[in-house]
Structure 1
Amino acid sequence: MTDAPTRLADLARPMQHAMNNFFMVLQANLEAVQASLPPEERNAVRVGRALQGAREMEALIRAYLRLGRPHEEGQVDSGRFLESVRPVLALAVAKPLKVEVLATAAIAPPRPEVDLALLDLAAGARALPPGTPLLRLDGNAIAVNWPAPEGVLETLAGLGLQASSQDGATRVVLG
């Protein structure tokens, strides 16, 4: 019998390193081809779309792989933190997620635990009509326009974060 979660966590860092290398090669080559084409040419548009798709795929894979990495706590800018977790939050919402960044601040969230708790919070937006989910970052606090699903506030509190939900909205202080 194997312990799949532990083995996957052990592979998360080397997997992310390998993916970084692959995406660097892919994006560098796409950028070189794009630069060699006149901007109005049909193939330039296609290469531009492929390049954008590669960037979005890299962000999604990075966010996904971070969920399996071992525990770490390091200081990070809240805007960079949000951008790193945004792709998987958008998947959890299962519809377009509007994100607004009003201000950023230095935070030290316990990861991947906070990432996973925010995934649980994002699942609460599934009941909203399309185009409605909004996540707003203001310094070290995230506010969303939906109530936290059952158990999420307790999970966030267990991670040492302040979290509250009232009037159909939820606020989480990341540190």
Structure 2
Amino acid sequence: MAGEQNPGKAAAEQAMALLMRPVRHAVNNLSMVLTANLDSALPRLPEGEIVRRQVARAREAAQDYDNLARGFLALGRDEGSRPAPAGKLLQELLPLLSLAAGGPLELQVQGSAVVERRSPALEGALILAVSGGAEIAGGTRAPLRLDGARLHLPWPVPSTAREALESLGAVVEPEGEGTAITLPT
């Protein structure tokens, strides 16, 4: 029947909600142990040796994994609101923003501002906003630019992102071929 949810899908959603906090805790612990042990081993390895380069690459990959996993798992957090530095918020989200945009993104931060971080809604809205970059053909993308609380995207944002951002108190304006988003403060 229309409007009724599949019981299997409902059970899977309930299981996700039930497991989100313990999985987040386990991933944080695993990442911490992995990076701490690689950090400890790296200085003990001889300079110039292949194994040192391999461990250094593993350390870098572990850090990338940690950043990506933490960002993704944060989307499952309970709703909450707190002040946060805009630059730190976007740096934390950058691995997920790059995935949503379909390729690597650079973030240039100029100035600083404290914004109202309404999690996970703001993070989700920003991820949707940069997904507009996935429509851009391959090649190098212009960087995202953060001036205080104003984020400049070099492309238009999808209407769902605009609505979500505006519902959170952000101001979304066209800017040339792109979009300027003034994050809520």
Q: TM-score, normalised by structure 2?
A: 0.87
Cα separation, 1, equivalents of 2:112 and 2:175: 24
Structure 2 partner of 1:107: 115
CA offset at residue 8 of structure 1?
2.4
Q: CA 1:98–1:148 in structure 2 vs 1: closer, same or farther (change >3 Å)?
A: same
Query: Identity of paired residues, percent?
Result: 32
Equivalent residues in 2 for 1:24-103 (5 A)? 24-103=32-111
Gap regions ≥5 residues in structure 1: none
Partner Cα distance (1:105, 1:13) in 2: 30
CA RMSD of aligned residues (A): 1.6
Distance (whole Å) between structure 1 residues aligned to residue 41 and residue 17 of structure 2: 36
The SS at the match of 2:172 is: strand
Query: Which of residues 139, 146, 154 in structure 2 aligns to 1:137?
Result: 146
Do the aligned partners of 2:83 and 2:115 also contact (CA within 8 Å) in 1?
yes
**Is the contact between residue 45 and residue 52 of structure 2 (CA under 8 Å) also seen in structure 1?**
yes
* 8 Å CA contact retained: 1:10, 1:69: no
Tell me, which stretches of 5 or more residues in structure 2 are unaligned?
A: 1-6
Residue deviations 1:107-128 (CA, integer Å, cap 9, x gap): 1221111111111111111122
Residue by residue, what CA displacement relative to the aligned partner does 1:36-76 show, whole Å, maximum 9, x if unpaired?
11221111011000000000000000111111222111111
Alignment partner for residue 170 of structure 1, among 171, 179, 184?
Answer: 179
Instruction: From the CA coordinates, give the structure whose radius of gyration is larger.
Output: 2
Residue equivalent to 1:159: 168
Structure 1 ranges of 4+ moved more than 6 A: none
For residue 4 of structure 2, what is the aligned residue in structure 1? none
Give the Cα–Cα distance (whole angstroms) in 2 for the partners of residues 3 and 141 of structure 1. 40
SS, match of residue 25 in structure 1: helix
Contact 1:9–1:69 (CA under 8 A) maintained in structure 2: no
1:154 maps to a residue whose letter is: E
Give the match for residue 148 of structure 1.
157
Instruction: State the 1:9 CA deviation.
Output: 3.7
Cα distance between partner residues in 2 of 1:114 and 1:59: 18
Aligned length: 175
- Counterpart contact for 2:110–2:145, Cα < 8 Å: yes
Three-state SS of the structure 1 residue aligned to 2:33 is helix
